[in-house]
Amino acid sequence: MSDSSFPDPQVRHPIVTADGTPHAGTVFLSAVLDHPRIEVGVYSYASAHQAPSNWAAHLAPYLYDFSPERLLIGKFCQIADGVTFVTASANHRYDGVSSFPFAVFGSGPIEGRASMPEPGPDTIIGHDVWIGQGARILPGAVLGNGVIVGAGAVVSGQVPAYSIVAGNPARVVRSRFNAADVARLNIIAWWDWPIAKILEYEPLISGTDVTALEAVSAE
């Protein structure tokens, strides 16, 4: 495939069905997200069986324009139907006697109220991360490059690059590569190559020969 036939990352619907109509349920996120607290890399896409009218609210329903935290998604990520990013603004304070958010129901300004939690951390998704159907990514989760998240997993904390996680709570099932190869893959960073080079070396990027991929990355 040539880069001229590969869809531009700003195309809203990058998949075309057999009858020539765009697949409404799959979008390049960089083309549909306009949210001040979300950053997303090129070619990352999301799918939904019922295409939402607002993809930002669909994916991150608790991330508001005024939220202090951010959702950061890398390049070439794959986000399946039903994935939800539960960002830090969904949190309640839970270090005291009650977790009830009295402040959101009135009786004065919200800022500085005792029942409100402190601002929470960003949620960070690396490059080339595949998040399976119905997974929940919890506030402050950091997923390394090349992570695969199993369907229905509930993910929190730090997830090492190129690991597979599954379950509730999610646990590392295995690493996709040994530690030395993971380090090499993070340096190769194929997702930063020009799209023409990515397509030229698609077989290597989709394969398992890290040494061969490393060799062409130096070209």
Q: Per-residue pLDDT for the chain (219 aa), expressed as one digit of tens each?
A: 556 689 999 999 999 888 889 888 999 999 999 999 999 999 999 999 999 999 999 999 999 999 999 999 999 999 999 999 999 999 998 999 999 999 888 887 888 889 889 999 999 999 999 999 999 999 999 999 999 999 999 999 999 999 999 999 999 999 999 999 999 999 999 999 999 999 999 999 999 999 999 999 988
Let me know whether 138 and 191 are in one domain.
no
Same domain, 28 and 88: yes
Contact 180, 210 (CB under 8 A): no
For position 20, what pLDDT does the model report? 85
* Structural domain boundaries, residue 33: 3-176
Query: Nearest 5°: phi and psi at 5?
Result: -95, -5
Look up the CATH number of the domain holding residue 109. Answer: 2.160.10.10
pTM of the model: 0.93
Q: Which of 60, 56, 57, 59 is nearest to 81 (CA)?
A: 59
Considering its fold, how many domains does the chain have in total?
2
Q: Give the pLDDT confidence score for residue 109 in this predicted structure.
A: 80
Write the CB contacts of 80 (distance below 8 Å, at least 6 apart in sequence): 46, 47, 130, 131, 132, 133, 134, 135, 151
**90 touches 64 (CB < 8 A):** no
Domain shared by 189 and 166, yes or no: no
> Of these residues, 23, 35, 58, 92, which one is catalytic?
92
Same domain, 117 and 154: yes
Task: Please indicate, yes or no, whether residues 153 and 207 belong to a single structural domain of this protein.
Answer: no
Asked if 132 and 218 sit in the same domain, the reply is no
- Assess contact for 149 and 165: CB atoms under 8 A: yes
Q: What are phi and psi of 207, to 5 degrees?
A: -100, -160
User: Is 92 marked active-site?
Assistant: yes
pLDDT at 1: 52
pLDDT value at position 4?
Answer: 64
Q: CA 145, CA 187: separation in Å to the nearest integer?
A: 11
User: Where do the H-state alpha helices sit in the chain?
Assistant: 29-32, 55-59, 179-188, 195-200, 202-205, 210-217
